[in-house]
Structure 1
Amino acid sequence: MKSIATLTMNPTIDVSYDVGKVRHTHKMRTDNEWYAPGGGGINVARVFVRLGGHARCFYMSGGATGPALDGLIDLHQLVRTRIPINGPTRIASAVLERETAKEYRFTPSGPTLSRHEWEACSEALAVDKAPIVVISGSLPPGAPDDYYAMLGKALRTQGKEVVLDTSGKGLRHALDAGGLMLVKPSQGELEDYLGRALGDPQAIAEAARAIVDAGKAQYVAVTMGHRGAILAHRKGTAILPGLQIEAASAVGAGDSFVAAMVFALARGDDVGEAFRLGLAAGSAAVLRAGTGLAHPVDIDRLLNQVAEISPVAP
């Protein structure tokens, strides 16, 4: 089993709670309050470790809220490397309205980094020995649009395999630079990258396969929410339909998907089986409201419901 390192440049303190009904102006009393460390790479590390792997999470933390994030990560017993910054770590909120079972999510943009701060990420990862690096989450304000592309190139020079889960300009530049082991866009993120709508699974599969054929990524896994996911690799494309479950949250589904798929690849599983485990984990993450992410007992149960790989016609 290979170990991984994860990078979270724009982490969060994730707060979740329930309220009877959301109303403007009025003070709303909440209950079922939970706090968790969040951000793409931290979430990936949480699930990867639950599955039995070893992960070190690199993240940026600062301001008055920084120590709170550090403490929450320690509660999850994660191996961590904190990269200090001046700005305060952001706080994201997820509110479940019990009357409608709808979830409302509020996420600040995060602190603005200085050049010295974002360069410290490259310096920290350069000395880590993990053969797989998962770069996950949004680029914070102040970081160059092509930072993930530059970092990925430096890591590949060291012989490391790079996994990317991001969006917008960070995704665009990193994909155009190429050489990724795995990239996991949502359908919307892939459409944004291409600048056009992808109306059906066939079009999504063709677009994902084109990324593989261009040498931009070895594997492309496109998540489509309740409709399932599509995998493209050099031998073809495949689709997995979504599971028939009642979703209570949308928090952490993509991160759980990435963690499980990378876990399976790190232990040497076939990419198709890794894809199936990813879908089971992404589905497990939405079973409960809040910030709990996927748990192995739910992943194992749902994996039995995941279909065998179905080819998508070329």
Structure 2
Amino acid sequence: MKSFDIVTLTVNPSVDKSTHFSGLIAEQKIRCKDPLFDAGGGGINVSKAIERLGGSSLAVFTSGGPVGEMLKELVTKEKIDYEVIETETGTRENFIAVDDNTNSQYRFGFDGDVLTDSEVEKLLETISNLKPKFLVASGSLNEGLSSDFYQKVAEIAKTSNSKLIVDTSGQALKKVLETGAYLIKPNVGELAKLVGVERLEIDEVNEAAKKIIADGRAEIVVVSLGPQGAVLVTKNEYEFVPAPNVAKKSTVGAGDSMVGGMVWALSQNRSLKEVIRWGVACGSAATMNEGTQLFKFEDANRLFEWLKNK
């Protein structure tokens, strides 16, 4: 098999269906425009972002039923190499709808079905055999899947000398940090929980991130500040990048695009100053497109050039 520097893992992928309508009225039939379909799920979106930047990755994900077949077709159209773990249960769908009267976006997500023990073992075995330079574990876990699943992935990454990038939340993220990761991307609220406080002010983010690093739980902490931008913290560095002012159409996939931009930049041996700016550029560019389309390269590149001196 062809070797890849970057492998993304999506345990709970989806086919994302998006549409537009005019006027939300209870108990009345809502007429929707023709839907658009996109391959979704954290790791798959990261692979899509890397491909848009001219990079390559191997996307590892689960797939089952007719929706799973559609998912594979959509990933193929994105020109992404992939390895699939077939499941007895079907792949989930998500639904995103925009009211053209108000420009309000409504997002409906569904839990993924339970995976069998053998399917879980197959996922871990597949990751164990690949040994990439960068391993990205991103997205939610299926219903019933143990919260220590990503921790097991972290243990595999450590054994394989892979740099683990994790984008998840809650107990799953806490368990990962017991083993340790190369890079994590919490938002401010998630970071507060990780350091055991109720909330953090912006000027407290650097100290909180450095506490995680000092404890050996991560080497790089990137904290999303929403419309204010993001910060990257290491033992010796602190980089704040403001979010560009862009016309936002959808926030779907913005976080995954940010991760994709950063992982791609890391794989290109860019400086950490450039890594965080590529992340913010790709995340911001993703909000400029409707539905679940992620970003266009020309938008991300233009925003990166603007951020270079910020």
In structure 2, how many angstroms separate the alpha carbons of the residues matched to 1:96 and 1:25?
Answer: 18
Counterpart of 2:125 in structure 1 is 123
Counterpart of 2:255 in structure 1 is 254
Q: How high is the sequence identity, in percent, across the aligned residues?
A: 33
Instruction: Give the stretch that moved more between structures: 150-159 or 88-97.
Output: 150-159
In structure 2, how many angstroms separate the alpha carbons of the residues matched to 1:28 and 1:45?
Answer: 34
Instruction: Give aligned pairs, total.
Output: 307
In structure 1, how many angstroms separate the alpha carbons of the residues matched to 2:144 and 2:150?
Answer: 13
TM-score under structure 1 normalisation? 0.94
CA contact under 8 A between 2:5 and 2:134: conserved in structure 1?
yes
Partner SS for 1:64: helix
2:190 matches 1:185: no
Counterpart of 2:221 in structure 1 is 220
Q: For 1:95-244, list aligned pairs within 5 A.
A: 95-178=97-180, 180-244=181-245
Instruction: Give the stretch that moved more between structures: 226-235 or 125-134.
Output: 125-134
Instruction: Give the stretch that moved more between structures: 137-146 or 40-49.
Output: 137-146
In structure 1, how many angstroms separate the alpha carbons of the residues matched to 2:193 and 2:252?
Answer: 21
Deviation at 1:219, TM superposition (A): 0.7
Deviation at 1:32, TM superposition (A): 5.1
Counterpart of 1:300 in structure 2 is 301
Partner SS for 2:306: coil
CA contact under 8 A between 1:8 and 1:58: conserved in structure 2?
yes
| Residues 242 and 197 of structure 1, relative CA distance in 2, 3 Å threshold | farther
In structure 2, how many angstroms separate the alpha carbons of the residues matched to 1:32 and 1:290?
Answer: 12
Amino acid at match of 2:43: G
Amino acid at match of 1:96: V
Counterpart of 1:312 in structure 2 is none
The Cα offsets for residues 149-205 of structure 1, whole Å up to 9 and x where unpaired, read as: 111111211111111001111111001221x11111122322343443434221122
Instruction: Give the stretch that moved more between structures: 139-148 or 248-257.
Output: 139-148
User: Hey, which bits of structure 1, 4+ residues long, moved more than 4 A?
Assistant: none
Partner SS for 2:31: coil
CA contact under 8 A between 2:56 and 2:80: conserved in structure 1?
no
Deviation at 1:238, TM superposition (A): 2.4
Amino acid at match of 2:245: Q
Counterpart of 1:61 in structure 2 is 63
In structure 2, how many angstroms separate the alpha carbons of the residues matched to 1:183 and 1:52?
Answer: 23
The Cα offsets for residues 201-259 of structure 1, whole Å up to 9 and x where unpaired, read as: 21122111211111111111011211111111011322112211221111001100000
Counterpart of 2:26 in structure 1 is 24
CA contact under 8 A between 2:183 and 2:220: conserved in structure 1?
yes
Amino acid at match of 2:146: P
CA contact under 8 A between 2:64 and 2:90: conserved in structure 1?
yes
Partner SS for 2:130: coil
Partner SS for 1:235: coil
Is there any run of 5+ residues in structure 1 with no aligned partner, and where? 310-314
Deviation at 1:129, TM superposition (A): 4.3
Counterpart of 1:287 in structure 2 is 288
Counterpart of 2:273 in structure 1 is 272
In structure 1, how many angstroms separate the alpha carbons of the residues matched to 2:179 and 2:129?
Answer: 23
Q: What is the Cα-based RMSD across aligned positions, in Å?
A: 1.5
CA contact under 8 A between 1:37 and 1:72: conserved in structure 2?
yes
Q: For 1:63-102, list aligned pairs within 5 A.
A: 63-102=65-104
In structure 2, how many angstroms separate the alpha carbons of the residues matched to 1:295 and 1:239?
Answer: 24
Deviation at 1:74, TM superposition (A): 1.2
Q: Quick one: which of 31, 42, 45 aligns to 2:44?
A: 42
Amino acid at match of 2:139: G
In structure 2, how many angstroms separate the alpha carbons of the residues matched to 1:24 and 1:175?
Answer: 44
Partner SS for 1:248: coil
In structure 1, how many angstroms separate the alpha carbons of the residues matched to 2:192 and 2:249?
Answer: 26
Amino acid at match of 1:270: S
CA contact under 8 A between 2:274 and 2:308: conserved in structure 1?
no
In structure 1, how many angstroms separate the alpha carbons of the residues matched to 2:101 and 2:308?
Answer: 34
Deviation at 1:269, TM superposition (A): 0.6
Partner SS for 2:7: strand
Is there any run of 5+ residues in structure 2 with no aligned partner, and where? none
